[in-house]
Structure 1
Amino acid sequence: MSDPWDGTAGQATRGRTTRLPGEPRSRADGIRPPGGRAAARAASHSRGGSRSRRRNRPVGRGRRFLKTAAITLSVLVMITAGAGWWFYEHLNGNINSVSLDGKGGTEKADAFGRTPINILVMGSDGRTSKADCKLGGGCSKTGVQTGSNADVEMVVHISADRSNATVMSIPRDTMTKVPACTDSATGQSTPGYYGQINSALEYGPACQVATVHQLTGIPIDHFVKLDFSGVVKMSDAVGGVSVCVSDDVYDTYSHLKLSKGTHTLKGVAALEFVRSRHGFGDGSDLGRTVSQHIFLSAMIRKFKSAGTLTDPAAVYDLADAATKALTVDDGLDSVKKLISLAADVNKVPTRRMTFTTMQTAPDPTNKERVVVGPGARTLFTTMANDQSLTTGSGNKSAAASATAEATATAPAVPASQIAVTVENGTTITGRASAVATALTDQGFNSGTTTANAPSPATTTTLTYGTGQKAQAQTVAKTLGLSASHLKQGTGTGLTLVVGGDWPSGTRYPGGASSSAPADTKAAVGGAHAQTADQAKTCAKVSPYKTVSLNGVAMTPSQAYAAARNKPDSDS
């Protein structure tokens, strides 16, 4: 067995059984000569100096190699760290941000201190660069332009518990009140006016946020703005987005041309798809919002796929493209903040991401425009109250959890179909009237009445007749009553007795929220609701003559057949 010595001559061995020439037998037997290791090393040098020097050389080369390797490794570490820092700073330098100045309102925390996130996503039609002029057209006479409209507007709501999300599109043709605004970048201002909602972007992103907040009542924390070239960059970075169309389609305005079936769209083809308003639905902006939801759902599924987020090259391309393509508020003005937002979005399962379009009605003064329609206010309220529009598995939102007992066993009944007799069982004047007014203000039937209870009541109760449990649960959900307050009676109708345990206010003490939950069934009525996991959904090609080819009006499918010489968008 060998054992290294400590000396500069390198390695030697102790306890050898073979004697060196001239070496005493006692050394070979394992007994060291007088003087210990120092004497032994001196004796070795005197006997075989040249041999010792030859032994030194290999060890010297090894040490020089190790030293060189260590230096090289240190340099590599420094280069890698430097590249990482450069990459981080490079991405931060890409980001363009604008302050909201508090114009979007403030989110309220839930009972656990968690806050929802609401983001206004805007797609700008601006031709503010040569690239956007080339992609969007319309610059042949005007050249590069300065102003822009928010032709795409989506309010993205991520619940406080990150279990669900709602995306609501607001059609660009919606008429509304634009508040007084001043663009911090250009100084352009307006005292406020009634006009098309997408025009507010002329006065800066903060004005567009303020307009949407005023219309919906939804607090908006952040915004993200994307232009034509940004859509191209993002679709390329993710490696293309898979979409399906129900029939052959050629939108002669956006130039989208696709055969029936599924296609992977990149670059300009992706932009043509999301811009197409004449190709889908009824040929208006309402049909376009639905096809945009299909596109975004597919992109979200692609983001969540392991192949996208585990490929370093893909992640770099995506991060570089995103930071170059987006304008954001100053609450999202760093890579760290954007990564945090992406992580929050990633927590939400696709089956619990609901895409909707704000319900509209024709503008009485202009058939080419729309106004807020029936059901829209209820949709706004679900988002403002952090209510989920999905019923899939997963954690419930705070608002839903507190009244789960009262609502779990039967489907919701619209408030407009429910009348309640509210009786005052307290000694406080006006209690029944206050609660009844709160119910009618929330959309309950005008047949709701008030009365004094036959006798004083210490506990609040809601009694319902046979087959009316679902109606009682709707009332309970609105007022914050738990299942313990409900009981079935022998008569008909609903009778709410306000007891001594509810001396003030229009919501039962300890209810889940200061705002009454909205009717989620009514919220999605006419809203074209779909969830992001619906991978087989195809964009419905318009059956109407919404396009024109060579001066002849025709359907998008007829235009496809007539334009045989034009290549498809994905060819």
Structure 2
Amino acid sequence: MSDPWDGSGGQATRSRTSRVPGQRASDADATRLPGGRSGSRAAARSHGGRRARRAGRGRRALRIAGICLALLVLGTAGVGWWFYEHLNGNIDSVPLDGKGGTEKADAFGRTPIDILVMGSDGRTSKADCKLGGGCSRTGVQTGSNADVQMVVHVSADRSNATVMSIPRDTMTHVPACKDGETGQSTAGYYGQINSALQYGPACQVATVHQLTGIPISHFVKLDFSGVVKMSDAVGGVSVCVNNNVYDTYSHLKLSKGGHTLKGVAALEFVRSRHGFGDGSDLGRTVSQHIFLSAMIRKFKSAGTLTDPSAVYNLADAATKALTVDEGLGTVKKLIGLASDLDKVPTKRMTFTTMQTAPDPADSNRVVVGAGAKSLFATIADDKSLTTGSGKKSAAASATKKATASAVPASEVAVTVENGTGITGRASAVATALTAKGFSPRTATANAPSSATTTTLTYGTGEKGAAQTAAKALGLPASHLKQGAAPGLVLVVGSDWPGGSGFPGGSSSSASADSKAAVADAHASTADEAKTCAKVSPYRTVSLNGVPMTPAQAYAAARSKPDSDE
């Protein structure tokens, strides 16, 4: 992938069943095994509208001013240069060596960004031992597992993003790997996905890439103390819970309602597994999405980026907290990444969890479930899970209608006409069609005249065949029209200057129906500020040896202070 940012200058995941299995030992006492422990009114009057617009412009101006101030500090001699070198010195980077594949550019030469974000459970320092527990017998440890794994995809046009969590208890094939720093290696094995981090971050990236088919060109890893530093640097993260909760394992204790979490309280929230959902890792991914959505909104707020002290603290904390690949190993590159992420509106940032099913060999583990391949394909094909308005995409219903009357590709022949004036366009599209199994009678020709808009014309009774071709090419239904003559004629217009898939469409044989992609994936968007984490109604925790619900534990532990006190 070309680098766009460097210019010149423990507890097992469970499927939801009628009863919750008995609990294991707490995280602090769990035995370490390969694979991890058991993570305005409706309308304003005209003058009110003007005020709102002025306020909106003011907030944007403040954000821009804050970013410029930060860049000015970084670019100034003396203290600014020291600050820049100081931040660069904070960054810990390691090579990725192309283990995650390479993203493909779209028809306009723009490239998506795919990053694997990992939360390490390692107790590799005294600080992490204190925060994570479990070091009383072993002392400071050397290995770690990726107990949080999120694939972050930013679209090529920077209009949307998808964050997909992969439950840590997923069973998969780990490829042959060797950690370049420790020398620890494996010939490959079938095991829990989070265990791949024991052989280095590049091995974890390779494992996720192999499982999903999603090209991953970068990674970001942070540990327990990193979560604490980042939450403190932004002044706390606002979340809410729908009931009283006390997770006796992560030690999270909060009353029903909203809270601003800093430091250790923030770590307890994102680590809480027994407190939310069904008490498994699947419920934890949803609460983590709520936390990250709130943090993103905080990053994007005017106040965060207009306070020089906040900018410094955030930059210092981030560079100290993260381990990244060498492609992100400078301040300039991290600023470039932050700028790309800032372009995506929160209503078009979709959070999902990979669909799972119980592992037939072990009910305490999971495997890739139905719908996951559609989700993987959606991300790999750079397709958005939201519309331009931020609503869930309606592509699924359109696809279902098309599929209902679709004709097999092998029975469909298309005459592809070049209306672009670009040599070879018709041939490129026709070749793509035959490669997808369309009839060898597919032919090419020059259009009678130049065309600005691509159209697919079909004869009477041939709508199903046209829909089959349109789906394969990613051509929206608005580009289809019925004509008087029989047969399918595709005129490639200047709105399709290159590539075998229509720009912004949903092409490819694996192209996903967006609703199928997010079915049972707990999808949400980052603008959902009123969403509260759902406290588990099951007896997922234990207090003084007595199993109880998190709300019952909260009532029984009156003497213990709440996490945010």
Global fold match (TM > 0.5): yes
- How many Å apart are 1:437 and its aligned residue? 9.9
CA–CA separation in structure 2 for the residues paired with 1:460 and 1:339: 43
| Alignment map for 1:297-376 (pairs within 5 Å) | 297-376=293-372
CA distance in 2, matches of 1:527, 1:437: 32
Return the match for 2:207 from 207, 211, 231.
Answer: 211
- 1:508-531 Cα offsets, whole Å, 9 max, x none, are 966448734321111111110000
Match of 2:134 in 1: 138
The residue that corresponds to 1:82 in the other structure is: 78
Aligned pairs for 1:66-465 (under 5 A) are 81-393=77-389, 411-413=398-400, 419-421=406-408, 423-425=411-413, 438=436
Could you say which residue in structure 1 is the equivalent of 2:544? 550
1:487 positional shift: 4.6
Letter in 2 for 1:169: S
| Distance 1:283-1:417 versus aligned 2 partners, 3 A rule | farther
The answer as to whether partners of 1:415 and 1:519 remain within 8 angstroms in 2 is: no
Shift of 1:465: 7.3
SS of the equivalent of 2:162 reads: strand
Q: 1:535 aligns with which of 525, 529, 540?
A: 529
- Give the aligned partner of residue 421 of structure 2: none
Letter in 1 for 2:559: N
Select 1:515's aligned residue among 490, 508, 512: 508
Amino acid at match of 1:523: A
The letter of the residue matching 1:557 is: A
Residues 459-499 of structure 1 deviation map (CA, whole Å, 9 limit, x = unaligned): 97557979x99x97576233344657745699xxxxx9566
SS in structure 2 opposite 1:153?
Answer: strand
Superposed CA offset, 1:150-187 (max 9, x none): 00000000011111100000000111110000000000
Structure 1 residue 358, shift from structure 2 partner? 0.5
Shift, 1:221, TM fit = 1.0
Percent identity between the aligned chains? 77
Mapped partners of 2:123, 2:102: distance in 1: 33
Which amino acid letter does the alignment assign opposite residue 79 of structure 2? A
Q: In the alignment, what sits opposite 1:54?
A: none
Who wins on radius of gyration, i.e. which is larger?
A: 1
Distance 1:281 1:484, change over 3 A: closer
Q: Distance in 2 between matches of 1:484 and 1:302?
A: 39
After TM superposition, give the deviation of residue 420 of structure 1 in Å: 2.1
Count how many residue pairs are aligned between Structure 1 and Structure 2: 457
Matches of 2:147 and 2:562 in 1, distance apart? 25
Hey, what does 2:473 align to over in structure 1?
A: 479
* Cα distance in 2 for residues equivalent to 1:259 and 1:482: 49
Q: In 1, Cα distance between the equivalents of 2:380 and 2:191?
A: 24
After superposition, the Cα gap between the structure-2 partners of 1:549 and 1:451, relative to the gap in structure 1 and judged at 3 Å, is same
CA distance in 2, matches of 1:409, 1:562: 48
Counterpart Cα distance in 1 of 2:553 and 2:466: 54
Q: Does 1:567 align with 2:561?
A: yes
Q: Distance in 2 between matches of 1:199 and 1:462?
A: 53
- 1:558–1:191 CA distance, 2 compared to 1 (3 A): same
The C-alpha deviation readout for 1:308-361, integer Å capped at 9, x for no partner, is 111000010000100000000000111111111001101110011000001111
Contact between 1:463 and 1:486, CA under 8 Å: does it hold in 2?
no
Task: List gaps (5 residues or longer) in structure 1.
Answer: 1-76, 395-399, 401-406, 441-449, 491-495
Find the residue that maps to 2:528 and give its secondary structure: coil
The superposition leaves residues 117-155 of structure 1 with CA deviations (integer Å, 9 ceiling, x where unpaired) of 000000000000000000000000000000000000000
CA distance in 1, matches of 2:554, 2:307: 38
Residues 1:416 and 1:377: Cα distance change in structure 2 (over 3 Å): farther
CA contact (8 A) 1:249 1:541 kept: yes
After superposition, what is the alpha-carbon deviation per residue over 1:87-144, rounded to whole angstroms, capped at 9, x for unaligned?
A: 1111110100010001010111111111010000000000000000000000000000
**8 Å contact from structure 2 (residues 374, 517) kept in 1:** yes
1:525 to 504, 510, 519: 519
The aligned residue for residue 27 of structure 2 is: none
Q: Is the 8 A contact 2:406 2:467 kept in 1?
A: no
Match of 1:48 in 2: none
> Which secondary structure state, in structure 2, belongs to the residue aligned with residue 81 of structure 1?
coil
How big is the shift at 1:438?
Answer: 4.5
**Aligned-partner Cα distance in 2 for 1:234–1:387:** 30
Letter in 1 for 2:223: D
C-alpha distance in 2 between matches for 1:133 and 1:508: 52
Shift of the 284–409 alpha-carbon distance from structure 1 to 2, 3 Å rule, reads closer
Structure-1-length-normalised TM-score = 0.73
Check the 8 A contact 2:107/2:499 in 1, yes or no.
no
Instruction: Return the alpha-carbon distance in structure 2 between the equivalents of residues 381 and 541 of structure 1.
Output: 32
Give the drift of 1:561: 0.7
Indicate if the aligned counterparts of 1:181 and 1:190 stay in contact, CA closer than 8 A: yes
Distance in 2, matches of 1:322 and 1:151, equals 20
CA distance in 2, matches of 1:233, 1:510: 44
Output the amino acid matched with 1:258. Answer: L
Cα RMSD between the aligned structures?
A: 3.5
Write the distance in 1 (CA, Å) between the matches of 2:245 and 2:293.
21
Q: Which amino acid letter does the alignment assign opposite residue 155 of structure 2?
A: S
